[in-house]
Amino acid sequence: MNIRQEILKTIETRPLADVKKFRKVSSYFGDNTFSVPTMKKHISKKTFDAFMAWMEEGRQITLAQANEIAEAMKTWAVDRGATYYTHWFQPMTGMTAEKHDSFISFAGIGRVIETFSGSKLIKGEPDASSFPSGGIRTTFEARGYTAWDPTSPAFIIESKLGKTLCIPTIFVSYHGYALDKKLPHLRSIEALSKSAVAFLKLFGNKNVKKVFSTCGPEQEYFLIDKNFYRMRQDLLLTGRTLVGASSPKDQQMEDQYFGSIKERVVNYMYEVGEEAYKLGIPLMTRHNEVAPHQYEFAPIFEESNLAADHNQLLMEIMKKVALRHDMVCLLHEKPFAGINGSGKHLNWSMSDDKCNNLLNPGKTPEDNLQFLAVLVAVLRAVNQYGDLLRASVASAGNEHRLGANEAPPAIISVFLGEQLTAILDTIEKGKKTKISREDIMNLGVARLPVVNKDMTDRNRTSPFAFTGNKFEFRAVGSSQNISTAITVINTIVADSLDDIRQKIEEAKTSKDFNTAVLLVLADVIRQTRKIRFEGNNYSEEWKKEAAKRGLPNEPSTSEALKALVKEEHIKLFEKYKVFSREELKARYKIWLEMYIKLLEIEAMTLSEMVNASIVPNAFDYQGLLAQNLQQIVNLKNSAGLKLLDESLEDQKVHLSEVTEMIFYVRKNTRAMMQFLEETRDLEEDEKARRYFVDLKPIMEHIRKHADLLEGVISDEHWDLPKYREMLFVK
């Protein structure tokens, strides 16, 4: 038995985790968070009121008040067993980062007490000089600061032997440039709020003070046994399999999607749920996905900044809890070739401070007119800035998924459904005369809410689909921080709300309001026609049709990222104070660098796997074949063994084939290493381009021959866990 087969045996005997005592979720939801109600219990009314005024109207609190909150937060955390605190932030490289400090300070010789001050709560200075800044921070002024984000509650992370108080923060350079993903996200919410409040005012909603984006990200993932993971350098170092022959059965029967969830996996889901609920993450749905051993968690939607924090936390919980069940949670967008990858459908909408969803069709003609105007503003945003949306989801991992057979292509289009399409068509055709309340009713608009919910056609192939009362952006990758996509959506929608509001204001000087609105909308509907597509986005015809319409289809990450630094986009982000020019350039640079580094790691890993595992395995098997053949020929000659000429020929052919596969794998691997050497000193733009155009095909080529070898080499000689094992042994 080889090592792979030994592992298979251990998995079969894995005991299931014991069932703990069940608790009602409502009895412990948010227990590990210093939420607003918890804070209220621990601080004076005056300070609490000041805190709420800060949240709602942006009036800063005093240092004394911050001190009081810090003291309360510390007491709460220490009472629960926390010994350390950390400023928790989201650097541009996508993970979350922490630097832990103890609460202790000296209180006399050899004696310590737990302390925590307002200034430490508000501002931290992590030794974070090694986080990439894209040139924003030169090394001689390497300081970066974290600053408390009071809109997201502090929380306690538990590990077996201790607890840490985590304070959500932004991360900025000495000169105030955003070095993270949270600050631009917060800025984009402000920009959206301003534009949306002005927009609503025009429609007669004068009392709205604030509008914010709401999000519910649907998180897909794979689980595999921990031992398989450890045996695969590629999964360990890159999160995806670089070689691996397809399993004869994978997702053809869709029996995973419709089947019941296996007990080991359900146990895992229970525990993820419990950990999430303690942190106030409102997990709602859990189910199997299409590919074998693929699953999904979806929360109830929240204000987008909170949703983003919660999604980052959830991903960490998912990974941590998987290990407790002797499994590994794979968040990569394409861990296995040939079957579905994982995305993170981002459900997005806007809400006013009275919790009215701006994308909810209303009950009166006036409400519906406003709803249609908001909807058309989103259309304009996607039409005008599709390339920015594409850039917001550009990554090496997602590059494997977009445009593969299970995910929307890199072409950004919008799906609205039959009913809305009909309504927009009617508006587009326009009416010459004055438009009355009845006319709006006659558009069918007033009846929208009744039919809307259950009539919404589920076009699962559209990258940007209207699903009843929200849009669903389906191009986000499973491992990505949703903040970047939200930041872009918020900004481009803010811009479109402003644009449409200004046009209506102009038009209404000569027409009545309803007529003015419908005339402006008709214009925008006409101009954005090309972005709307109701058919199958996965089809070849759509690719052709999209090209005809002039829609960009950018499969390459590095090319897609260029949209971030297009002059008109820099101007847009500067106008809305979401990103400065420097901040955009830094992001472009960092994300390009990440792409390059990831591909280099993949190439080096593949080379090692070929040289240290696949080829030696193949040599063993080749030796076996050669020996066998030799013995048969010997027997034929010495003992007159009777053989069909053809059967001897067949064995020779097999040996030649194996030898040829070994040759190609080795030859292409050498070519790959030589390619890396040759391109080493290229400028980053050019290097990334060459990696996409040349390196990836070489890697695919190596894989093709390695996978052929896997198909013929005896099971006994193959060390790498196979697809069928990783995906079906549960």
Instruction: Write out the residues near ligand ADP by the rule CB under 6 A.
Output: 214-216, 218, 298-301, 347-349, 357, 467, 469-470, 472
Q: Based on CB atoms, which residue is closest to ligand ADP, 489 or 590? A: 489
Nearest approach, Cβ of 284 to ligand ADP (angstroms)?
6
Nearest approach, Cβ of 344 to Mg ion (angstroms)?
10
Q: Which residues pair with 171 in a beta bridge?
A: 146
Nearest approach, Cβ of 486 to ligand ADP (angstroms)?
10
Contact partner at residue 470 from Mg ion, ligand ADP, none, CB < 5 to 8 Å by partner kind: ligand ADP
Nearest approach, Cβ of 9 to ligand ADP (angstroms)?
39
DSSP conformation class of 532: B
Q: Based on CB atoms, which residue is closest to Mg ion, 283 or 561? A: 283
Contact partner at residue 446 from ligand ADP, Mg ion, none, CB < 5 to 8 Å by partner kind: none
Contact partner at residue 487 from Mg ion, ligand ADP, none, CB < 5 to 8 Å by partner kind: none
Tokens of 524: 């925008």
CA angle 719–723–728, rounded 5-degree value? 115
Q: Based on CB atoms, which residue is closest to Mg ion, 88 or 348? A: 348
Q: Based on CB atoms, which residue is closest to ligand ADP, 120 or 344? A: 344
Q: Based on CB atoms, which residue is closest to ligand ADP, 301 or 336? A: 301
Nearest approach, Cβ of 345 to ligand ADP (angstroms)?
7
Contact partner at residue 250 from ligand ADP, Mg ion, none, CB < 5 to 8 Å by partner kind: none
Residue nearest to Mg ion (CB): 345
Nearest approach, Cβ of 488 to ligand ADP (angstroms)?
16
Question: Which run of H or E residues covers position 677?
Answer: helix 645-678
Within 10 angstroms of residue 277's Cβ, the number of other Cβ atoms is 20
- What distance in Å separates the CA atoms of residue 284 and residue 218, rounded to the nearest whole number? 10
- Concatenate the DSSP letters of all residues of 225-294 into one string: EHHHHHT-HHHHHHSS-SS-PPPSSSSTT-HHHHSPPPHHHHHHHHHHHHHHHHTT--EEEEEE-SSTTE
Strands 327-330 and 211-225: antiparallel
- What distance in Å separates the CA atoms of residue 317 and residue 312, rounded to the nearest whole number? 9
Q: Based on CB atoms, which residue is closest to ligand ADP, 137 or 345? A: 345
- Concatenate the DSSP letters of all residues of 340-373 into one string: ---BEEEEEEEEETT--BTTS--SSHHHHHHHHH
Q: Based on CB atoms, which residue is closest to ligand ADP, 140 or 258? A: 258
Tokens of 47: 């300070």
Nearest approach, Cβ of 537 to ligand ADP (angstroms)?
16
For tokens 């299931």, the residue is 16
Contact partner at residue 606 from ligand ADP, Mg ion, none, CB < 5 to 8 Å by partner kind: none
What are the residues binding Mg ion (CB under 5 A)? 345
Tokens of 310: 């919660």
Give the largest CA-CA distance in the chain. Answer: 108
Nearest approach, Cβ of 489 to Mg ion (angstroms)?
16
Burial class (CB in 10 A: 0-12, 13-18, 19+), 350: buried
Q: Based on CB atoms, which residue is closest to Mg ion, 347 or 617? A: 347
- What distance in Å separates the CA atoms of residue 622 and residue 660, rounded to the nearest whole number? 11
Contact partner at residue 153 from Mg ion, ligand ADP, none, CB < 5 to 8 Å by partner kind: none
Contact partner at residue 298 from ligand ADP, Mg ion, none, CB < 5 to 8 Å by partner kind: ligand ADP
Which ranges constitute the DSSP H helices of 294-447?
304-324, 365-392, 396-401, 418-429, 437-442
Nearest approach, Cβ of 214 to ligand ADP (angstroms)?
4
Contact partner at residue 720 from Mg ion, ligand ADP, none, CB < 5 to 8 Å by partner kind: none
Residue 568 exposure: Cα atoms within 13 Å on the Cβ side:
7
Nearest approach, Cβ of 217 to Mg ion (angstroms)?
10
Q: Based on CB atoms, which residue is closest to ligand ADP, 171 or 348? A: 348
Question: Which run of H or E residues covers position 112?
Answer: strand 112-114
CA distances for 210 relative to 50, 89, 198, angstroms: 18, 25, 10
Give SS3 for 633. helix
Q: Based on CB atoms, which residue is closest to Mg ion, 185 or 345? A: 345
Residue nearest to ligand ADP (CB): 216
Contact partner at residue 301 from ligand ADP, Mg ion, none, CB < 5 to 8 Å by partner kind: ligand ADP
Contact partner at residue 390 from Mg ion, ligand ADP, none, CB < 5 to 8 Å by partner kind: none
